[in-house]
Chains A and B, each alone.
Chain A
Amino acid sequence: MLVLTRKTDQSIMIGDEVEITILEVRGEQVRVGIRAPRSVQIHRKEVFDQIREANISATGATLDSLPDIEDIREPSGA
């Protein structure tokens, strides 16, 4: 991991199209501004990880993992 130290209003370039700017530092929180082409996905890491975990967990399913339609539509047996 490359580690850099920046002050407020300083930036970092990643490649020639992604720019990260430190906008504000307030206590434990840092506000970060990101300029990037629309094709580059930007997300908080924990959200991305959550989705990856859910995807991985889903691939474990086999044909008989899925319940019958009856179980889904009438959960109370009505």
Chain B
Amino acid sequence: MATMAKVSKVNCETTRFGEIEVDEDLVITLPNGIIGFEESRRYVVLHLHEKSPFRWLQSLDDGSLAFPIIDPWDFKPDYAPTISDADAVQLRINRDSPKLAFAIVTISRQEPRRITANLLGPIVINPATRLGKQVIVTDEQYTTKHSIMDEISRQAAA
């Protein structure tokens, strides 16, 4: 009789999403945490609305901690971050072509349409190991406040 291999689940009580349950193999571990939030290491990506480019990086160590994120290539297909040797070695990825990365999104309270993405400090993940890190890219052209709307207009005009 065949038995189904059980995928372990992880539960977490979160502030924004209530109680969530995710497969253990979807958990992303950031051994250095996120800058300013080094104590929290385990995260999961939640995608609330399929059509929205925005997702949430929810901490499993602290239910009240979550970051809105976006796949940077979703709005900037020519995003080409360069990772330091140290980070590439630590993550065991190729420094010129991170395959999986998220930019943390900031929404201005004063101007709700002013949404910016941190392209200077993306969260880069090795999809095979599911280990990640918030790296500081070595390219001088990227900032912590890259306007998503402006970029979309720029891409449309090009």
Q: For the side of the interface on B, what is the size category? A: 35 or more
Interface pair B136/A47, CB less than 8 Å apart = yes
Contacts known (A48-B35, A65-B68, A72-B152); A58 close to B106, Cβ less than 8 A: yes
| Extra inter-chain contacts (6) besides given A43-B136, A55-B36, A66-B107, CB under 8 Å | A39-B90, A50-B144, A55-B118, A55-B134, A65-B68, A72-B53
With A and B bound together, what is the CA distance between A60 and B66 in angstroms?
Answer: 9
Please report B residues at the A interface, Cβ cutoff 8 Å.
16-17, 32, 34-37, 48-49, 51-54, 65-68, 75, 85-86, 89-90, 104-107, 109, 112-113, 115, 118, 120-121, 134, 136, 144-145, 148-149, 152-153
7 A-B pairs, CB-CB below 8 angstroms?
A: A51-B136, A59-B37, A61-B67, A67-B112, A67-B113, A67-B115, A72-B148
How many chain A residues touch B (CB < 8 A): the figure is 31
> Nearest CB to that of A61 among chain B residues?
B68
Q: Please tell me which one of the listed residues B16, B51, B68, B112 contacts residue A58 in the complex, with CB atoms under 8 A apart.
A: B68
With A and B bound together, what is the CA distance between A48 and B119 in angstroms?
Answer: 13
Interface pair A62/B16, CB less than 8 Å apart = yes
Tell me, rounded to whole Å, the shortest Cβ–Cβ distance linking B36 to chain A.
4
Q: Does A73 contact B (CB under 8 A)?
A: yes
With A and B bound together, what is the CA distance between A52 and B35 in angstroms?
Answer: 5
Interface pair B52/A47, CB less than 8 Å apart = no
Interface pair A66/B52, CB less than 8 Å apart = yes
Contacts known (A69-B52, A75-B152); A55 close to B16, Cβ less than 8 A: no
Interface pair B49/A69, CB less than 8 Å apart = yes
Q: Please tell me which one of the listed residues A47, A58, A69, A76 contacts residue B104 in the complex, with CB atoms under 8 A apart.
A: A58
